[in-house]
Amino acid sequence: MLLKFTKMHGLGNDFVVVDAVSRKVFFNKPQIERLSDRHTGIGFDQLLVVEPPTHPDMDFRYRIYNSDGSEVEHCGNGARCFAKFVIDRGLTIKRIINVETKRGVIQLRVQDDGLVAVDMGTPSFEPKDLPFMAEPKSGLYDLDVADETYAMTPVSVGNPHAVIKVDTLLDEQVARVGALIECHERFPNKVNVGFMQVLNEAEINLRVYERGVGETQACGTGACAAVVAGIRHGWLSNEVTAHLRGGDLRIEWQGEGSPIIMTGSAEKVFEGQIYL
């Protein structure tokens, strides 16, 4: 089958987006792995599949696959690319779009300046919601990794994150420790790992080792998780700019029971066709 696709990115976190509204498209794990290969395929961090909604009050459904073929619950950078894609392709004329995902419903708002604001839902710090094997408590959890102990905040923003506050962001730490924590036995479904450097109450530097992908240029849900962890611990204010390797995201959170609002850009790179 000849597959039409659009290559997009959100702050360097890159995606292949496929319209499965106009034409039915199904993917298996070997196909996704082949397409994601940056030498012999298209190359991407994640595959986004746009589908018709299953509920009448929704506009679309979308599914998210990592480069290893695993399906995940949520992706903030992908959500912004999704919004730009459905408008550019003429699949909707709405500027406020309600979308079904594996984790539930999200709302996307396309602003006049072209940026996309995403209602990321309400975060959870309950270990069972990631899941993370621990008793519920407030504050930090100690995680033993390769003869070292890291103070870590588990956060679910529709997908699981472990946030670690560091003084300095080091390449070796992100690569080595990120990989070890991703597959740690206390995270039975694996976890995304964020390394956060607090610059001041309104700014952080962040690098994220993503589950099933490795380090990416930017991770929207990772930025949300890091900021809400920082706010909860009193390190950050309610509006924060997260500096990621691919660019900046604005994250707003008013505290317990409130949704996270993430605002950032989405860009189309090119369109193409490839045989599955």
pLDDT digits over 209-218, tens only? 999 889 999 9
Q: How does residue 73 score in pLDDT terms, banded at 50, 70 and 90?
A: confident
Task: Assess whether pLDDT exceeds 80 at residue 138.
Answer: no
CATH match of 2-121+265-275 with 3.40.50.1980: no
75 is catalytic: yes
- Per the annotation, where are the binding residues for substrate? 13, 46, 66, 76-77, 159, 192, 210-211, 220-221
Distance (Å) of CA 229 to CA 56, 154, 224: 35, 8, 8
Location of each CATH 3.10.310.10 domain in the chain: 2-121+265-275, 127-258
> What average pLDDT does this structure show over 37-49?
96
pLDDT digits (tens, 9 = 90+) for 230-262: 999 999 999 999 999 999 999 999 999 999 999
Homologous superfamily, domain 127-258:
Diaminopimelate Epimerase; Chain A, domain 1 (3.10.310.10)
C-alpha span between 100 and 255 (Å, rounded):
24
Contact 241, 249 (CB under 8 A): yes
Q: How does residue 131 score in pLDDT terms, banded at 50, 70 and 90?
A: very high
Q: Does residue 87 sit in helix, strand or coil? A: helix
219 is catalytic: yes
What does pTM read for this prediction? 0.89
Q: How does residue 102 score in pLDDT terms, banded at 50, 70 and 90?
A: confident
Instruction: Give the pairing of strands 13-19 and 46-51.
Output: parallel
Average pLDDT along the chain: 95
